[in-house]
């Protein structure tokens, strides 16, 4: 079993130029690694962000600025959860730079199912977070 993953820094969100996705760059480390590792997590706008926002949360309303802030909050929550999912799946066991794409398509069904379970379980918490931090 790998040692706990420590997140040293997170940068983003960045708009991916040739695909409908945003990404975050994580700098992570484990106790037994000499140096940190870079991990890029991509979040699909349609299949992950809009799915959470529209299908799970049924989110609407607010000004353009509030919508932007809500999107950023949800994007980060999704990216953080995807990092946990891929770590638990063993994809971060080796110390290599890693890019984790959107959980879509047949090869990613199992990972998306785990993300969907998290979305369902956390929907009330996410709604309250949006209400508290953004006022919607």
> Using one digit for the tens of pLDDT, what is the confidence trace for 71-109?
999 999 999 999 999 999 888 887 677 899 999 988 789
In a domain, 118, yes or no: yes
Q: How many structural domains is the chain composed of?
A: 1
| CB atoms closer than 10 angstroms to residue 78 | 25
Residues in the chain: 136
In a domain, 88, yes or no: yes
Which pLDDT score is estimated for 1? 45
In a domain, 1, yes or no: no
DSSP 52: I
Assigned token pair, 36: 């940190």
In a domain, 129, yes or no: yes
> What angle (nearest 5°) sits at the alpha carbon of residue 79, between those of residues 70 and 86?
160
Which residues of the chain carry a pLDDT beneath 50? 1
Contacts of 114 (CB under 8 A, 6+ apart): 85
> Maximum Cα–Cα distance for the chain, whole Å?
47
Range of the domain at 128: 6-134
3-state helix, strand, coil in the chain (%, to 5): 50, 20, 30
Which pLDDT score is estimated for 93? 80
In a domain, 32, yes or no: yes
Assigned token pair, 7: 């997140």
In a domain, 112, yes or no: yes
Assigned token pair, 61: 């309303």
Which pLDDT score is estimated for 2? 54
Which pLDDT score is estimated for 106? 84
d(CA 128, CA 132): 6
Half-sphere exposure at residue 47, Cβ-oriented, CA atoms within 13 angstroms = 17
What is the value of pTM for the model shown? 0.93
């Amino acid at each position: 079993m790998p040692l706990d993953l420590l997140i040293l820094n997170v940068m983003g969100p960045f708009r991916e130029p040739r695909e409908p996705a945003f990404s975050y760059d994580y700098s992570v480390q484990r106790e037994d690694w000499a140096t940190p590792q870079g991990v890029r997590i991509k979040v699909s706008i349609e299949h992950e962000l809009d799915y959470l926002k529209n299908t799970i949360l049924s989110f609407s309303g607010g000004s353009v600025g509030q919508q932007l802030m809500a999107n950023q909050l949800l994007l980060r929550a999704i990216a953080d959860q995807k990092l946990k999912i891929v770590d638990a799946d063993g994809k971060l066991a080796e110390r290599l730079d890693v890019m984790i794409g959107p959980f879509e398509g047949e090869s990613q069904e199992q990972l998306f199912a785990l993300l969907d379970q998290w979305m369902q379980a956390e929907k009330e918490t996410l709604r309250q977070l949006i209400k508290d931090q953004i006022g919607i």
